[in-house]
Amino acid sequence: MIVSWNWLKEYVALPMTVEQLTDRLTLSGLNLEGFLPVGDDVAIDVEVTSNRPDCLGHLGIAREVSVLWERALKIPAAKPQAMGSEVSQITSVTVECPDLCPRYTARVIRGVKIGPSPKWLADRLRTLGIGVINNVVDISNYVMLECGQPLHTFDFAKLAGKKIIVRRARAGEKFEAINHQVYELAADTCVIADAERAVALAGVMGGADTEVSETTTDLLIEAAAFAQLSVRNTTRHFNLHSPSSYRFERVLDPEGVDWASRRCAELILELAGGQLAAGVIDVGQALPPRNQVKLRFKQIERILGIRIVDERVRNILTALGCEETHACGECVKVVPPSWRADLSREIDLVEEVARIHGYDEIPEDAGVKMVASTRTAEDRVLDQVRDSMVAQGFDEAMTLSAVDKEWVATFQPWSSAEPLTTGTPVLRRANSLRQSLLPSLLAARRTNETLSNSDIELFEIANVYLPTTAGLPDQRRMLGITSGHSFLELKGVIEVLAATVAPGTELSARADDAPFFESGQGAELKLGGKLLGYLGVVSQAAREQFELRSDTIVAEIDLGLLVSAAVLVRRAKELSPYPPVARDLNLVVDEKVRWADVEHIVRWGCGELLERLTFQEEYRSTEKLGPGKKSMLFSIQLRSKTGTLTNEEADKIRETVVKSLGIELGGQLRA
């Protein structure tokens, strides 16, 4: 927000230098970006945070100065003199989309004379870097920069039917803006229309057909409130930003709409002449009630570490525009002013007291009682996940949530529904909310390959967005992994992760033939019998789609299940003092038998005595094993907690396992 020093003096006395003013404003939250002499004036550029739209006008900055220096604030009365007939007899306003336009006001002035603006007005606009056009257009810009409420003036004679209709645009409807660019409107765009066509993009820009020109004699003054999200969507869709849209995207003062309209009419009558029609057309919802906020005096000392006199606290709040409704020795209750929508909680009032009293008045050694916040179970588990993945040699990646729609279709394990889309792509063609992290990670892998990075081990923790019939998406936090090592190595990584976060909960895998995986090289993972995620070797087709050069193994895990199964309080278990006994098995099975099936039977057969099960290798030879056969070499390590296992006991367990493998899978020990 650029502020004119001379303009600011119209509302509040400035008994300080520019440097003193900017230093104090910076300490109160309006950071200085810089200042520059412009003629006999000074342009001061201050940073206005998104929660302070009241400071997007000179009156808002003047209000801050008046409170900080305890000076009187002078606000123009804005009382234009009406002389014409009732405005309701001249025009009408219909709002067909109150959700996009909660309030619309209109005033009409007839017989104006368009001409150049007076020097004082032109100089103030030039100081702020605003182009000077004509007296009427300049006045609407002036009032916006004065109070922060955008306005628009229409050439009333060019409005078909002499009426205003606020509606949603018709699909494919064309609109020519005052920048003389023609736009094809989307069906959800809020427009200001007359009886025939759209004449303005609501809150963004007026139309060329009804702009004020040298031939204009009659005006319709628009002052309105528009839904922030609607304005933001319009500006992003058309990449069309303006000082008006910048303000409408924030929460403006609902009670400032009519003041801005009256102020604009007052200045037009003064500088362009004409007759103002009596009254105003005001269509829309009733102003929302302003809620009372309570501030306990003890909270100030508890949070700031210093004692501020109760009377000083009350004076600060009333100077800021708050209406005091109750005061006692314990607390004060106030109703914040309409222009401060950001004051809704007790802590907001504490912050206001602190910044006006002065942060520099708080000693560095002020004692503030600190209480450590409680970390959620999810936060603690995510830290464990990150620690485990980094310890196993992976780097964390961060990718965009919006992707190309074709990417979504490559891997949809959690939902087969059409993806949710955004109105404006984040990047080229990236307009679909992802339903899996894996396509994004594969794109990151491709980038690393093009840069000749040899070790590309990546993981990402982020949300996926699954469409639902309820409207809002089902957001699930996932862990995506991509690796250049083998299937079994990545499976081992996940086993370590599960054992770290949820020790004692069984992790199992069974074959899954998703098209995204190479045939026979994909698996569905379950934790405690519930679906945890998927693991597999990326198929040749998917590698070609993402232009990957080498084999890639991926996995995606539902962290919600991992969080629910997590063991956050660890207990030490006594180690067995007895020695282990190991046995090797070389099992011949059919080619179709998978290791997961063998693993399940072995674990069941050994029971609690199984300490470790290690897969070693597979071997195939038609000559030695026969057609359609393979051998699996693995070892089991047994240990008892109650005594030393004898060889006979170990052999008996081994025989039980071999017998079960023979019955269930047709396996036999290799001779």
Secondary structure letter of residue 177 according to DSSP:
B
Asked if the structure places residue 571 within a domain, the reply is no
The 3-class SS string of 445-497 reads HHHHHHCCCCCCCEEEEEEEEECCCCCCCEEEEEEEEEECCCHHHHHHHHHHH
Residue 402, CA atoms < 13 Å, CB-side half-sphere:
13
CATH number for position 273: 3.50.40.10
Looking at residue 207, its pLDDT comes to 94
Domain co-membership, 469 together with 383 = yes
Percent with pLDDT over 70 in the chain: 99
Asked if the structure places residue 573 within a domain, the reply is no
What would the pLDDT profile of 613-632 be if each residue is shown by its tens digit? 999 999 999 888 989 999 99
Which positions ≥6 away from 73 have C-beta within 8 Å? 11, 12, 62, 63, 66
Q: Indicate whether 314 pLDDT > 90.
A: yes
Q: Indicate whether 367 pLDDT > 80.
A: no
Looking at residue 276, its pLDDT comes to 96
Looking at residue 245, its pLDDT comes to 95
Asked if the structure places residue 74 within a domain, the reply is no
Asked if the structure places residue 300 within a domain, the reply is yes
**How does residue 288 score in pLDDT terms, banded at 50, 70 and 90?**
confident
CATH number for position 433: 3.30.930.10
**How does residue 509 score in pLDDT terms, banded at 50, 70 and 90?**
confident
Looking at residue 279, its pLDDT comes to 95
Looking at residue 571, its pLDDT comes to 81
Domain co-membership, 44 together with 185 = no
Looking at residue 470, its pLDDT comes to 77
Name the burial class of residue 497, with classes exposed (0-12), middle (13-18) and buried (19+) by CB atoms within 10 angstroms of its CB.
buried
* Stretch 248-269: mean pLDDT: 95
CATH number for position 341: 3.30.56.10
Mean pLDDT over the full length of the chain: 92
Domain co-membership, 267 together with 298 = no
Structure-block tokens of residue 477: 């936090």
Looking at residue 494, its pLDDT comes to 95
Q: Which of 103-117, 419-433, 602-616 has the lowest mean pLDDT?
A: 419-433
Domain co-membership, 279 together with 297 = no
In 169-243, which ranges are E strands? 174-176, 182-184, 190-193, 198-201, 205-206, 218-225
**How does residue 416 score in pLDDT terms, banded at 50, 70 and 90?**
confident
CA 508/CA 604 separation, integer angstroms: 13
Looking at residue 670, its pLDDT comes to 87
Given 45, 69, 93, the domain boundary residue is 69
Looking at residue 520, its pLDDT comes to 83
* Stretch 319-340: mean pLDDT: 95
What would the pLDDT profile of 99-110 be if each residue is shown by its tens digit? 999 999 999 999
Query: Does the predicted model carry a pTM greater than 0.75?
Result: no
Domain co-membership, 408 together with 493 = yes
**How does residue 364 score in pLDDT terms, banded at 50, 70 and 90?**
confident
**How does residue 473 score in pLDDT terms, banded at 50, 70 and 90?**
confident
* Stretch 379-389: mean pLDDT: 94
Secondary structure letter of residue 592 according to DSSP:
T
DSSP 652-671: HHHHHHHHHHHHHH--EE--
Given 46, 69, 92, the domain boundary residue is 69
Asked if the structure places residue 370 within a domain, the reply is no
Domain co-membership, 109 together with 55 = no
Domain co-membership, 409 together with 480 = yes
Domain co-membership, 146 together with 185 = yes
Asked if the structure places residue 8 within a domain, the reply is yes
Domain co-membership, 57 together with 133 = no
Domain co-membership, 384 together with 505 = yes
Structure-block tokens of residue 69: 């220096």
Looking at residue 504, its pLDDT comes to 84
What would the pLDDT profile of 201-214 be if each residue is shown by its tens digit? 999 999 999 999 99
Strands in 323-327's sheet, in edge-to-edge order, are 293-296, 331-335, 323-327
Q: Indicate whether 574 pLDDT > 90.
A: no
Q: Indicate whether 671 pLDDT > 80.
A: no
Q: Indicate whether 372 pLDDT > 90.
A: no
Structure-block tokens of residue 561: 């299940």
Q: Indicate whether 510 pLDDT > 90.
A: no
CA 511/CA 524 separation, integer angstroms: 6
Give the range of the structural domain holding residue 64, as residue numbers without chain letter. Answer: 2-69
* Stretch 634-650: mean pLDDT: 94
Looking at residue 430, its pLDDT comes to 81
CA 201/CA 221 separation, integer angstroms: 15
* Stretch 573-588: mean pLDDT: 92
Which positions ≥6 away from 133 have C-beta within 8 Å? none
What would the pLDDT profile of 57-94 be if each residue is shown by its tens digit? 999 999 999 999 999 999 999 999 998 799 999 999 99
* Stretch 292-318: mean pLDDT: 94
Structure-block tokens of residue 126: 């030039």
Domain co-membership, 620 together with 503 = no
Closest residue by Cα to residue 95 from 201, 190, 228? 190
* Stretch 155-174: mean pLDDT: 94
Domain co-membership, 341 together with 385 = no
Given 25, 40, 69, the domain boundary residue is 69
Looking at residue 588, its pLDDT comes to 94
| Strand pairing report for 103-110 and 218-225 | antiparallel
Q: How many domains does the chain have?
A: 5
